[in-house]
Structure 1
Amino acid sequence: MRIGIIGAGALGGTFAALLSQAGHEVEVAARGSVLAAIRDHGIRLSGGFGDVIAEVAVAERLTLRPDLVLVCTKAQDAEAAIAANRDLIDGVPVVVVQNGLEGVDTAARLLPRSDCFGLLSLIAADHSEPGVVHVTATAESRLGRGDGPADAESVRIAAVLSDAVPVRALDDFRGAQWTKLVVNMVNAVPAVVGCTLGEVVASPELLRALTASMRECVRVGIARGVRFGSLNGLDDASLRTFAGLPLAEGTAVPAALVARMGWESNRGSTQQSLRRGQPTEIDFLNGAVVREASAAGIDAPVNAALTALVHEAEALGRPLPAGRVGDALATLDLR
């Protein structure tokens, strides 16, 4: 199958290398130093899926009409990237491999003739330099769309992608998206202070902030009428219980998540972007919680504060003192 991949960062690079290795004809749309590195040296993948050097076609835009498209850009780049390839891919099935809640809707709006799906990737990978990806944790990814049972097309596309990496078609994709958003609350705190998730969990103050952001995200989802999907060992029942816990008791939830997923050494994708001097996805992670809270007629002060701190670190080009996190939350009612 001819597969177009838009964006060749950590996940785009991983999927491109593994799909090429599985025998698919892969073309990658990339820019700048990433395009040059892939053109000169291929995609160099290491870690959990083994060592792969994939020689794939690459250009600023896709040049051949594919049978399937994966959009693997950062959330803030998705609209421009899809629009740049729209004439070639409208009418082709599109899988959006992104964090946040808005990617599939954005693709469907721009590509009215395409079937659009979302993919929740649970793979952890470091994009250390252009064209180089190291997978630090492997896991089955989940693909779907909407609120109902997985349809036949979702099952078909999941099977195609499973040629390369485990992917399962998922019922109630929207609920699982929300669970993934809860999980993605692990990104902000380590990005602000420049540490690993293991170090966050070991710090009572930082763990308290992480817990507060996750709990607030769940409470906002409940206010929006969400039934959370099962993902990363979390489900609707456990998250609703978590939403009602005192903060001190709730710290066990993110601590267990980090341990269960083996993420102690991970810094998260937000911090990776900061380290590369690139804009982060924070407005589509913690910022999405703030927008969803506003739509529900409530506030999300913890996630608003963390969003502002990440933007401050972006502007400075360096992490902030750890005490800034505690200071930002000190005046908030965290019951």
Structure 2
Amino acid sequence: MPVPDAPTPSTPRDDATPRRTTIVGAGAVGSYYGAMLARAGEPVTLIARDAHVRAIAAHGLQLHHEGRVETVALDATTDPAAVRGADLVLVCVKSNDTEAVARQIAPHVAADAVVLSLQNGVDNAPAIARHVHATVAPAVVYVATEMPAPGVVVYHGGGRLVVGAPDAAGCDASARALRRAIERLADAGVPVEQVADVRPALWMKLLLNCAYNAASALTQAPYERMARLAPVRELQVAVAREVVAVALADGVALALDEAIAGIERIAQTMPAQRSSTAQDVARGRPTEIDHLNGFVVRRGAALGVATPVNQALHALVKLVEAGDRSG
């Protein structure tokens, strides 16, 4: 819903305006999906950090994908105003930055654009919709990527998106626009589906992140090595039990056996992957742990559900972060 002091969105696009996708916060995930769209002939602009932008300007985006390296030509900038004129906006910033970035892009997003939140956590799309006057929908992301250097994205596996209903429930125009966006992603080779209620998928992805991200960050271990150790698997099941309990208290039913199967499947399909939290810790950057295990702890406290395992993992990652900041 609009907020009273929200900025006025840019003018709606007309039918003659060429379509364009803008990726806001184009790190590894955003750059990968931007590359997929650009490879299919879609005009794409990445909004990214300065080093990434400069590397792309000099050499193109280097995509390591299925055993080969491909140079992908697309535009890149550091300017949030580059969302102006885009009819599809993918928001890929860290959850910590959602509110601030939503305020930055709000004056420039066209009223008839589709904005997809490709972010970890369960509450980013509503946060964007508080500021951006356009069709906003959450998308659950199942992809393993890494950005070892500016201008370079390595694809490790996956790629599927599960998209929820638009925020403007019952609005035919929003539903049609979202359907067109989904078809566009599918045409670019992205496995994508839409579900009426995305909350179970959001919570299940949160569960998987809570089971892997903190432990991977604290040890810098890839998923396959984690899966080989019985104590780690027991830790992951304990995390899953807590998330299932909090989700149920919040009105979302998750099946524990499906969660455990999902945890096992990730280690099989993405054996070399280290979590995004591990990559942030390795680079000395702030992590999203407050929106992963930390969110479960806060939500559990509000709902009267104990979450000691998630609390311990959250505290340990915060301790590592504090050490990085103090030097």
Taking structure 1 as the reference length, the TM-score comes to 0.82
Report if the CA contact (8 A) 1:198-1:263 is conserved: yes
Q: What residue number does 2:313 align with?
A: 306
Q: What residue number does 1:41 align with?
A: 59
Q: What residue number does 1:5 align with?
A: 23
Q: Which residues of structure 1 form unaligned runs of 5+?
A: 229-235, 243-251, 319-335
Q: What residue number does 1:170 align with?
A: 195
| Secondary structure of residue in 2 paired with 1:187 | helix
Which amino acid is 1:171 matched to?
A
Match of 1:180 among 177, 184, 205: 205
In the TM superposition, what is the alpha-carbon distance from 1:13 to its structure 2 partner?
0.5
Q: What residue number does 1:257 align with?
A: 265
In the TM superposition, what is the alpha-carbon distance from 1:207 to its structure 2 partner?
2.3
Distance 1:67 1:146, change over 3 A: closer
Q: What residue number does 1:273 align with?
A: 280
Which amino acid is 1:174 matched to?
R
Match of 1:85 among 105, 118, 123: 105
Report if the CA contact (8 A) 2:217-2:277 is conserved: yes
In the TM superposition, what is the alpha-carbon distance from 1:97 to its structure 2 partner?
0.4
Matches of 2:262 and 2:142, distance apart in 1: 16
Q: Does 1:16 align with 2:34?
A: yes
Mapping 1:1-335, distance limit 5 Å: 1-48=19-66, 51-61=69-79, 62-63=81-82, 64-89=84-109, 91=111, 92-111=113-132, 113-145=133-165, 151-164=175-188, 165-185=190-210, 186-228=212-254, 236=255, 238-239=257-258, 253=261, 256-260=264-268, 262-317=269-324
Which amino acid is 2:107 matched to?
D
Matches of 2:319 and 2:233, distance apart in 1: 20
| Secondary structure of residue in 1 paired with 2:93 | coil
> Any idea what the Cα deviations from partners look like across 1:98-124, whole Å, max 9, x if unmatched?
01011101110011x211011111111
Q: CA RMSD in A?
A: 2.4
Q: What residue number does 2:4 align with?
A: none
Sequence identity percentage: 33
Report if the CA contact (8 A) 1:159-1:168 is conserved: no
Distance 1:143 1:58, change over 3 A: same
In the TM superposition, what is the alpha-carbon distance from 1:184 to its structure 2 partner?
1.2
Matches of 1:49 and 1:86, distance apart in 2: 39
Matches of 1:254 and 1:87, distance apart in 2: 40
| Secondary structure of residue in 2 paired with 1:98 | coil
| Secondary structure of residue in 1 paired with 2:130 | helix
| Secondary structure of residue in 2 paired with 1:121 | strand
In the TM superposition, what is the alpha-carbon distance from 1:68 to its structure 2 partner?
1.1
Which amino acid is 2:54 matched to?
A
Q: Which residues of structure 2 form unaligned runs of 5+?
A: 1-18
Matches of 2:78 and 2:98, distance apart in 1: 14
Distance 1:254 1:97, change over 3 A: closer
> Any idea what the Cα deviations from partners look like across 1:36-92, whole Å, max 9, x if unmatched?
222222211112496432222222224342111110111112222222222111522
Report if the CA contact (8 A) 2:38-2:74 is conserved: yes
| Secondary structure of residue in 2 paired with 1:69 | strand
Taking structure 2 as the reference length, the TM-score comes to 0.84
Report if the CA contact (8 A) 2:166-2:178 is conserved: no
In the alignment of these two chains, the number of paired residues is 298
Report if the CA contact (8 A) 1:290-1:304 is conserved: yes
Which amino acid is 2:153 matched to?
V
Which amino acid is 1:70 matched to?
L
